[in-house]
Chains A and B, each alone.
Chain A
Amino acid sequence: MRSNLGFFSDEKFRSIFFQTLVVGLFALGLFFVINTTSYNLEKRNIATGWSFLQNPAGFDISFSPFLEFKSTDTHLKVYFVGVLNTLLVSITGCIAATILGFILGIVRLSSNWLLSRLVYIYVEFSRNVPLLLQIILWYSILIQLPRVKQSLQVLDVFYISNRGLYSPRPIFESGFSYVSIAIVLALISSFLINRWAKKRQDKTGQQFPVFSSSIGLIFIVPLILFFIIGSPLSFEHPELKGFNFKGGLVIRPEFIAMFLALSIYTAAFISEIVRAGIMSVSKGQREASAAIGLKQTWIMRLIIIPQALRVIVPPLTSQYLNLTKNSSLGIAVGYADLVHGFGGISLNQTGQAIECMAIVMATYLSISLTISFFMNIYNRSIQFKEK
């Protein structure tokens, strides 16, 4: 039986009809939401717009290692402090989680039964307990450390107390910029040497001691320069004055709790990814490289890991994205990140909910997209190159 709606069974017409319908409904919904929202805002006397960003914040931020923050600074500055704090804990967390995760993933495959079981127990526990709970738990452990007066002393220069970790603050004197320039130049030149050596090895088979020459360039050359200039670096040690330390570099317990919880939690996931990656490399590869007489460490470094990376990198990217998004949980322990500082306190003080949330969401979106972008480039560089 044919439908009497002849034109409706035309695929082209149907497709246009449905899409127009969806767009129309969406526009209608949007119109409705905007209308009610502007009505609601008017009724609550909330002015829209971005001018609030220039108003003084009126609150203090306890942890702002990169920017000096006073309570008279603007909400815009709260935002920048928040972004920097989010990036700080995300980047340090990603690095620590990757290192720990790779070690644990390799140890998990160790032939030692006891050791691999131990890692398995760790992985299961830290994967299956909510991250927020872990953050709060680490924080509650850290604030139960001894008070400032009885703080634990490590190596005579570090002090650990319930107010955080106090360490000497490096003070860079006038000549130090030459040393930093030397370090940057050394990094660039060792990168170039690496490329040149690889090209030469591909062509002629001759090897070049890239690793030791890079170490020499990056560490020894700037160090010599450092002493020639006359050690333009001194340390400001924290001193106990009254109830608190004065001077020095302080790492707050909120940051330490966030850092520990994020890296330990994510490392458990990364270790599973690494394990799966290594196991995906077929046994024949290992046997073949052993047969041509490669050392155990070389088999891992030259044969297994490069092949495993192809499997590891895509899920690793999503772990980095997760870690960055999870850093927003800092609000539970009062870590002044983007969500706590700008999306929390600023929002509550100004009442500009829509603007604040839009900025916070847009920032997270751009951080996520940036990470995806760079990881995709890296991923493409390690994939099989078919010749």
Chain B
Amino acid sequence: MNEMNEVRKPPVATTGIIGWLRINLFFNWTNSLITLFVIYCLYQFIPWILDWTIFSADFKYNYLGEKITNQEMCSRNLDPENGGACWAVIYVRFYQFIYGFYPKVEVWRVNIAYAMLALALLPLLYAKLPYRKYFLYFTYIFPVIAYFLLNGGLGFTEVSTNKWGGLLVTLVLGCTGIALAFPIGIMLALGRRSKLPVISMMCTLFIEFIRGVPLITLLFFGMVMLPLFLPEGIDMDGLVRVLVAVTLFQSAYMAEVIRGGLQAIPPGQYEAAKSLGMSYWRMNLLIILPQAIRISIPPIVNTSIGLFKDTTLVIIVGILDLLGIGRGTLADTNWLGLSYEIYFFVSLVFFIFTFGMSRYSLYLEKKLKTGINMGAD
């Protein structure tokens, strides 16, 4: 009776730093081994990559202190043992990467357009912006302003689109493609769900055709076949032809995403709208579409990310976007062999944009999940 129970050890800590390490990294034997192996690999890899990209890299001057003007002056070409990346190529060609061959005297126009783009996106990205309504008016007229700013007219000297390049072309293609594809996509989605058999069939055929072929064939279509389809005298600009292809491509994908949103609307919403005597267009514009678009915003952002990445395909038909400028720089004998630096830089720029967009779509998804409750439950 008075025999004491054996004193038991306290349970192992599961809180605090030690507890976190124990649960997440050293839970059992295999887990610990994996952790140690991963740490070893990182130990091998991280110092090397840091050394290459930062500590031994040239930014503007090589290790002799000279300003780098071509690849032969890069530290790693002067002394293969010691040099790291040669970022000077980005520094020297930075203008081309951002503006292409836009004339230097007119470049303020591009800068203003970039700034205005940021301003125009603000009310779209941030719903709680004060005076959002007025900002939105600006967003609607921004494409017109941007067109005259970049292309010329209305007192601005004309800058032909074959002088555009780099980030400018990437952003023009991405933004215009997404902005134009949105209304077309809505029409296609409504058309595909329409009760009129001919319209529904035509929309379905169009969507499935575009989704079944690669973008590159559509770009070839725009480049090679579109001029044949148009009457003489109408000479379409190269960038416009590519834009037509990109917009058609994106609108088919957008239509499918919006159709998904439309299908999620409970039939009660349609019935209620009809019982109030609303016409087809009023019902869709006022009741159905606002709800459908709201729930399909995250997938819309996702397809937009896809389009933004796909704009790089235009280099195949000879338009110089960011990647095109990178390839052009590499073909220059002055910068031969610096492919890793250039591709690293281009990847980084794309990564910043697309990663930002994907984070934003995650944030929206979280907000929507807590925000709405669709009648059903």
Instruction: Identify the closest chain B residue to A325 (Cβ).
Output: B214
Q: Contact between A36 and B213 (Cβ–Cβ < 8 Å)?
A: no
Which of the segments A133-141, A224-232, A376-384 contacts the partner chain?
A133-141
Residue in A22, A37, A131 whose beta carbon sits within 8 Å of that of B228 in the complex:
A37
Q: Contact between B354 and A128 (Cβ–Cβ < 8 Å)?
A: yes
B220 at the interface (CB under 8 A from A): yes
User: Would you give the 0/1 interface string for B156-177, flagging 1 where the beta carbon is closer than 8 Å to chain A?
Assistant: 0000000000000000000000
Which of the segments A198-206, A213-221, A239-247, A353-361 contacts the partner chain?
A353-361
Q: Which residues of A contact B309 (CB under 8 A)?
A: 128-131
A112-B24, A129-B347, A132-B323 known; A124 vs B355 contact (CB < 8 Å): yes
Q: Contact between A133 and B202 (Cβ–Cβ < 8 Å)?
A: no
Q: Which residues of B contact A26 (CB under 8 A)?
A: 202
B269 at the interface (CB under 8 A from A): no
A interface with B by C-beta (< 8 Å): 15, 18-19, 22-23, 26, 33, 36-37, 39-41, 43, 111-115, 118, 124-125, 127-133, 136-137, 140, 144, 325-326, 328-329, 331-332, 339, 343, 347, 353-354, 357, 360-361, 364-365, 368-369
Q: Which residues of B contact A19 (CB under 8 A)?
A: 196-199
A124-B355, A132-B313 known; A23 vs B198 contact (CB < 8 Å): yes
A140-B343, A328-B217, A369-B212 known; A22 vs B313 contact (CB < 8 Å): no
- Of residues 1 through 58 on chain B, the ones whose CB sits less than 8 Å from some CB of chain A are 23-25, 27, 31, 34-35, 38-39
Q: Which residues of A contact B355 (CB under 8 A)?
A: 124, 128
Q: Which residues of B contact A124 (CB under 8 A)?
A: 355, 358
Residue in B227, B313, B339, B358 whose beta carbon sits within 8 Å of that of A128 in the complex:
B358
A22-B202, A115-B34 known; A357 vs B221 contact (CB < 8 Å): yes
Q: Which residues of B contact A364 (CB under 8 A)?
A: 212-214, 217
A-B contact pairs, 19 of them (CB 8 A): A22-B198, A22-B199, A36-B230, A39-B231, A114-B38, A115-B35, A125-B351, A127-B354, A129-B309, A130-B350, A133-B323, A133-B346, A137-B347, A329-B214, A329-B316, A332-B315, A353-B228, A354-B228, A357-B217
Instruction: Identify the closest chain B residue to A46 (Cβ).
Output: B228
Q: Contact between A140 and B339 (Cβ–Cβ < 8 Å)?
A: yes
Complexed CA–CA distance, A368 and B208 (Å): 10
Q: Which residues of A contact B195 (CB under 8 A)?
A: 15
B136 at the interface (CB under 8 A from A): no
User: Would you give the 0/1 interface string for B209-241, flagging 1 where the beta carbon is closer than 8 Å to chain A?
Assistant: 101111111001100110111111000000000
Q: Which residues of B contact A125 (CB under 8 A)?
A: 351
B310 at the interface (CB under 8 A from A): yes
